[in-house]
């Protein structure tokens, strides 16, 4: 597996995270009290994970610069 392929794997995982984020955001409309706080915390974690996935994917895909192709 090349670094570009590994980067693509990270991007694919981020797409799965986006689905989870979308589902969790829907819970914001119905959650109340302590449950609402838990949903917000979970969303923050998911957003952080997504940001990290995109960052690592970018690093891997561009590790050798543009000269590789």
CB of 17 closer than 8 Å to CB of 63: no
- pLDDT tens per residue across span 14-69: 999 999 999 999 999 999 999 999 999 999 999 999 999 999 999 999 998 865 54
CB-based contacts of 49: which residues, under 8 Å, 6+ apart? 17
Contact between residue 39 and residue 31 where contact means Cβ atoms under 8 Å apart: yes
- What is the pTM assigned to this prediction? 0.86
């Amino acid at each position: 597996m090349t670094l570009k392929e590994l980067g693509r794997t990270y991007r694919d995982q981020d797409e799965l995270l986006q689905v989870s984020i979308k589902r969790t955001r829907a819970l914001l409309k119905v959650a109340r009290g302590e449950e609402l706080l838990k949903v917000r915390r979970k969303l923050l974690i998911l957003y952080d994970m997504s940001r990290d996935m995109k960052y690592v994917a970018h690093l891997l895909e561009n590790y050798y610069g543009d000269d590789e192709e």
